[in-house]
A and B are shown apart, each in its own frame.
Chain A
Amino acid sequence: MIAIDTIQETAERLMEKAAIEIPQDYLDGLRTMADTEDGDLSSFVLQAMLENYEAAKQDRRAMCGDTGCPRWYVKMGNEARIEGGPIALEAALRRATAKSTNDIPLRPNRVHPLWRTDHDNNVGIGAPEIEYGFEPDGEWIDLVTVHKGGLFGTDYRMLFPSDGIEGIKRFFLDSLVAFGKRGLACQPAIIGIGLGGSKDTCMVLGKRAACLRTVGSRNSDPRIAAMEDEFKELGNSIGMGAMGFVGKSMVVDCNIEVGYCHTGGMQMSVHAFCLSSRRAVARIHADGRVEYRTDPEWFTDYQRRETVEWTPPQSLSKSA
């Protein structure tokens, strides 16, 4: 049984980590870009960002003043049991979100879409979002918080099989060029692409590709992995760098996730996880142990399964 107090304390710690500490994979990716960037202005921006991450850590203050929209991904092992059940879990995550907004502090970004009511705590109708995933084994739960920023850089389009790879590339480039100008996407970004599903799941896939995979990770389908490499290079060949200045630092990495779709369509979404790619993860074990990390490890073989029944890959089932 996982204690509800442990969940809330861990959630508060995650809120702080996400807001303040840039994940190492993103930082390494950005350093590599800073080393190769030759546009003067774009280089200046990247250097300033690297200093900014240091300043945030030293001062324990949020790395960006726009602290985004905190949200939660909860992944549960099949045997996990939570004190008080899912209702208690959701209450704990809402409390942690509100408390951390005040304590860190974060910007109280969440308002009612029509009345602009602001509770000054990032909690409201449907906020923070809490999404779930499950894994076959384990008594643990993983808490992932993502503080996604950016009103720009995201787009959706219904493509068709006849659009082919040329159409996918076009929409990818259109999104980067449109939102890269003036740096509206706060690039260099982790670009997440969702392909297939239906309109809503396509958006979800793209967002998770951007926010729940790390820089340097590759899709388990080798042909999709090759597309990820190709698209990253394509994005960086536009001639645009940080803030839309001349340069080549646009895409820190490109992650693609797919879902089966209607036979007539090929939905596509594009998401940009910005210079403040805020995510933090913890695994809480049944015995109360908490392990912090920055890789959500969300897209497991189980999440990408294609078959009716789940049969674990050979290597895993042997070791289990």
Chain B
Amino acid sequence: MDTAPKPQQVRLSTTPSRADLEALKIGDIVYLDGLLYTAREGVYKKVCEEGSDLPLDLPAESAANFHCSPAATVNPDGSFNMGAVTATASFRFSKWIGPWIERSGARIIIGKGGMTSKDYREHFVPNGAIYLTTVGYGTGALLGRGIKQVKAVHWNKELGLAQAMWVIEAENMGPFIVDGDLAGNSLFERENARIAANLDKVYEGTRPAVLRRFGETDDRSDEVIG
């Protein structure tokens, strides 16, 4: 029934070449090697809205932005203690992702749950970037094992540990799944469409609530992210 090629497992550098990324298809399993950094709304606001300078040389040092707040502490001697890492839902960063990719030269955005294929077409495809989703999403301990070293943390005073920019050296860190490829396809949206075919049957024997809500829809191909 499924004619798509079997997903491959690959190791990918966090400063990938165009060819590396072209070889990836949605559904492929990826493990990362090299430096990656965390950046979410705190960092995006600081850089894209307030115009702060980047604290490291991007994308030369890393082209991989992880939507993540690690479970981590800074020890009194300045060293770091990082336990588990897990991505946070990426759709919330839609309004910054275009300016951020342009400013940082990011080629790999890693997060939870993907972004819309509209975001992929508008912001990722023109800049040659792909989207990797974490797995589970609770595979924080596995991902934690892939961290060789915490290199630095920037802006933890201003932004707090959760929003700070953590720079992490990854080795065989994963698994991740390709959700958005260079053509702008979305794995999640493909799966949604397949599942939607069955939904009318599942909903048989139910009925809409007598008290409706403003803006409510019965279109089950809809998504709650946007």
Contact = CB atoms under 8 A, between A and B. Distances in A.
Interface of A: 40-41, 44-45, 48-49, 51-53, 55-56, 59, 61-67, 102, 104-109, 111, 116, 118, 120, 149, 151-152, 157-160, 162-163, 166-167, 169-171, 173, 177-179, 181-184, 186, 234, 237-240, 242-246, 274-276
Given A41-B27, A61-B141, A48 B175 contact: yes
Interface residues of B, number: 58
A245 to B, nearest CB: 5
Contacts of A186: 136-138
Contacts of A242: 136
Nearest to A67: B71
A152 B209 contact: no
B64 to A, nearest CB: 16
18 contacts: A44-B29, A49-B136, A49-B139, A63-B140, A64-B137, A65-B83, A65-B85, A66-B71, A107-B69, A111-B160, A149-B138, A170-B207, A182-B114, A182-B192, A183-B137, A238-B202, A239-B198, A243-B137
Contacts of B72: 105, 107
B24 interface: no
Contacts of B177: 41, 243
A158 B142 contact: no
Interface in B100-120: 113-114
Contacts of B209: 157, 159, 163, 167, 170-171
A154 to B, nearest CB: 12
Given A61-B84, A65-B71, A275-B136, A118 B205 contact: no
B135 A243 contact: yes
B190 to A, nearest CB: 9
Contact of A237 (B88, B138, B202, B224): B202
B191 A274 contact: no
A181 B223 contact: yes
Interface of B: 2, 7, 27, 29, 68-73, 81-89, 113-114, 133, 135-145, 160-162, 175, 177, 188, 191-192, 194-195, 198-199, 202-203, 205-211, 220, 223-225
A45 B188 contact: no
A55 B145 contact: yes
A4 to B, nearest CB: 26
B211 A160 contact: yes
A96 B210 CA distance: 47
Contacts of B69: 65-66, 107, 109
Contact of B71 (A107, A152, A166): A107
Contacts of B224: 152, 178-179, 181, 184
Given A62-B83, A177-B199, A246-B194, A49 B71 contact: no
Closest 9 CB pairs of A and B: A65-B86, A65-B140, A56-B141, A170-B206, A118-B160, A62-B84, A64-B138, A65-B85, A275-B138
Nearest to A20: B141
B81 to A, nearest CB: 6
A158 B188 CA distance: 31
Nearest to A63: B141
Nearest to A275: B138
Given A64-B138, A67-B71, A186-B137, A120 B188 contact: no
Contacts of A237: 202
Contacts of B211: 158-160
A162 B208 CA distance: 11
Contacts of B71: 62, 65-67, 104-107
